[in-house]
Chain A
Amino acid sequence: MRSFIRKLMWLAQRGHKEAEFREELQFHLDEEAEERREEGLAPEQARWAARRELGNVALLEENIRGVWIWTFWEQVIQDLRYALRMMRKNRVFTVLATLLLALGIGANTAIYSFMDALLIRSLPVSDPRSLAVLNWHLTGKKSVRDSVVQDVSGYFYDDPKTGKTTPIFPCPAFELLRKSSDMFSVLFAYHPAGKMTIMVRGQAEIVSGEYVSGDYFRGLGLAPAAGRLIIGDDDRVGGPAVVVLSYAFAQGRFSDPAAAAGQPVMINNIPFTVIGVAPRGFFGVDPSKAPDFYLPLHADLLLSSRTDPNFKPGEWYLNEHYYWIEMMGRLRTGVTMAQAQAAVGPVFEQWVATTATNDRERNNLPEFLLKEAAGGLDTLRREYSKPFDILLAMVGLILAIACANIANLLLARATARRRELAVRLSLGAGRWRVVRQLLAESLLLASVGGAAGILVAIWGIRFLTLLLAGGNDHFTLHAELNWHVLVAAAVLTMITGMLFGLAPALEATRVDVMPVLKEMTAGKRRPRVGLRFSLSRLLVVSQIAISLLLLVAAGLFVRTLSNLQSLEIGFHRENVLVFKLNARQAGHRDPEIISFYSDLQRRFAALPGVRSATLANSPLIGDGAWGWPVVPLGQPTPEHAPSGHGSGVADTATHVLATGPVFFTTMQIPLLAGREFDERDRQGSLPVAIVNQAWVKTNLEHRNPMGQHIVSYGPGLKPQEMEIIGVAKNARYDDLTGNFPAIVYMPFEQNLNVPVAEMTFFLRTSGDPLAYASMVREIVHQADARIPVTNLSTQAAQIDGEISQEILFARLCTGFAILALAIACVGLYGTMSYMVARRTGEIGIRMALGAQRGTVVWMVLREVLVLAALGLAISVPTALGTSKFVESFLFGIKPNDPTAVAVAVVTLLSAALLAGYFPAWKASRIDPMIALRHE
């Protein structure tokens, strides 16, 4: 410590100190000379003798300085100054290398910042580490269909470790665990409220909400930004109609969040009071969502009772087979995750065993699973972590190619600097000293590249966020350059610098000083090229190998892209305007709501430029589907056919869509037989339905469907018999991929036991559909100002949105592969040019001895081909072995698609030959005379 301060003080008064010890030495010299003079030497001789006796003054000064300061740092500064000079001297190289590094490091930093946002960030609540989220899972071959779960509202996911996993529980389980657990200090529950119409100060809009139990905010340890948060007493049957707004929502609607508390709002046309505002930055427990408001759990009695005609009050709070509620607990101090799992697991498992009613259910019992919740629910992680892993691997490979490239350029430059290095070494510089100096140059280069890379990363994050969000306002994955990302970028920069700098530095200093010095003066070229050259070849081979990997990936994604874009969807997607309206949330009720919608449909159809207009109770793509059993009359219903609305309707259920008139005309779905719904099919007339080919195939085999009677078993509804009046060609509904679903279309105006609530309108227009948006809003506003127009888009954009992630991913990978190929070609070109230059003499002799130009070109190209072949020999098996990692991102193509591999190989070989041809051509133009004189 003392020495540290001393050294710092020295640095501060360095000039003064240096002058001092020079004076001290001068005094010594004078004294010594005087002494010699006294011994009888002439003054001049005496001075020289004294000087001789003193020895190497520079070394002495250096040694004294060494006492006071860090020689190491001094040298580092020296090295950096020198490196700066070198960088300025080789502008082209510096700019090129900086560009390569900036792209490589920037891309890596940008992708890493997304992964950081996904994996590392914690919930903005107090002590997030003690939070645990409750799950259950089915191991082995157990299936949810055979389990005690009869109805669900929520999601399941396949986890590679835990199998089919889900966070949803029946409400009695929540009550049980809340009472019996001494592991959790608080156990709270929540359930997405979905989209609701909220009217603030006379302005209606549709936003998403979350139902939360009374302990939710207490459990998370949050303090309100204004007013108060939901407490236990708010969450009960008959509790007050209160709502807590998110900070952003309150700020947007009331400008000052503090002003929001106490304000009245209408939610789905029911009056609520804002009691407070959640703290700034709080987004709930799921980073993939950001609810705009929070309601007490039991407020769903208030809201659902008005929207669901088949509502039985509170039934779902008591149902042991209805899985819907999600739970999180705060572990008591000192309780570990494993202890809580061991204590709470059996409680739940014993209870759930009592709910099983038969052996099938007893053999498929849920098993309790506690997971850490410091980062919130891992919905985002499941969705994005694999794509980002793959992207990170790709940009990592690109950085590796860039490193190999710069290393090669440095190698070539080091050869040009052989003489300089030899001089340094012969003057007594240690090899490590020179290596250090060369490393300082590469690290400085890397740092400049890294700094530029940060700029690239800032831009890259914005660009990627824009691409990933794809116009979605509720995109919640916010990446940023926080300190861990910056540290990671800095470390990456240093590693990069070492990677591309170390090998050339070691290689360049591995010189026998004498031959090099002699060779340079004598003009003979006999350097020790063997090892050095093989290193540069190795670098080219590895670049080719990596490029091939990326090219194969690009090939697979391009094929996926074209497969996705040429999907057969069964209807015409161009020139269709799509939007949603929810009249029920604005207070419309049966049966008036049906005529309200029909009336709107007629007014839209009458708009000039609208060729036809229709509506349905769900969009066709990207928003799930309705599904329940619909079977021919007299046929039993499938044993297990989960019913409801969601994505991925079970095979045993039928996709159901309630549509308005002229649906098939508007969507241009061809009818193979019969007619479509029209004015005749209204309430009270004979219930009718239209089925599609897939439904006929599964349910009727060879019978003629026309006139057949079928029965629909909607969830919680009484069975509804209908007559088939038409057969439609297969068309998409819900998923864009896979087999065409079996669909039964029903006329919504007949109100065949399908609740009429939110409706999606489809307008086939002439010209740009979005041009009609303002007219649509105007008509809706005139009809009922309380109803907002939502999800307004075109059908084509909706379909693109559905496959946007795949498209984006395919485009990014293709872009990266092209970048990698370009970098590798530059590297190959540089290496070959250098090789040709080195062999000028040899080529000259060959040509003087009668070699043809073609032979010379071939000689150089053969070299290129050998390198390329070596690269391919390494990477083709690697590509075949690793392509299965991207399998889940491919569509309509196998991971080891031979065409993709073949195209990649051919592309790479052509690019390599192209990169090698120019140097080869130059070699063949060598004038033998000049070449020989050059020697």
Chain B
Amino acid sequence: MNNDRVQISKAKLATNIIVLLIALYGLAKKDFTTARISFFEQMVIETFAPVQEGTTLLKGKITTFFDNYIFIVNTRKENTTLRKQIKDLEEQIFKLGETDKENKRLKALLRFGEEVSFNKILSQVIARNASSYFKVLRINKGSRDGIKLKSPVVTADGLVGYIYRVSKNYSDILTILDPYNRVDGLITRTRTHGIVEGFKNFTCRMKYVIRTEPIVKGDIITTAGLGNIYPKGIKVGRIKRIEKESYGITQFVVLAPTVDFHRLEEVVVLIKEENKIDSNEKMSDDLEREKM
């Protein structure tokens, strides 16, 4: 009897240690910045993600019903304000269009490098991550729709993150709120570089900003275009707090993302489409067409 108990104890200890070692080995090999999906994970995601999607769509329809038919307070006033804003924006778009044409001409003259254009895939956010340690969102588009790993994800307001995991019909986004997501940032006013990563309470922080840099609260941070994931010029956030300690060579910068993650419903995934044609030839062709 005692021998049996000792044998059982040894078996328990052995199993614990073996499984723990396998888990620790897996942890050492695991990359928290991207996830290659296994067949089994794909099967589970493809089974349950449609239910997540259905629930989110239903919630959207209920919210829309209440907003459009029940809570129609101040609708006319809001309508007038929005019409005026649209007119102003149309004017700005026209002016920017002219600036864009001039930019292309000047780039052609300066014989700028290879241009990369992006395909845009619109997706809906259907669920979030079950863990509180990672800030991940699930969207309803996958490899079947052309989504690729490490594709940047944006909205009209700014940067959301990049594609972390892809299955056939669904993908997971590692957002900029996650400490594992590091974005090469640029403070547009001072052209100061730094690394933006997730912090706490839906904010980010920018590291390696030299303490002598004249940054102020309210400065906008965009992507710098380095690091091979995010294209240049996408808004990331606005400086919310700056702390300078009495020692050290850097300052501690906290920023509020320009994207409202509390109300994020739709995102755009940018899929890189490398332009193999020599950009000079393309620019010249564009100029010729404009002249005609």
Q: Do they bind each other?
A: no
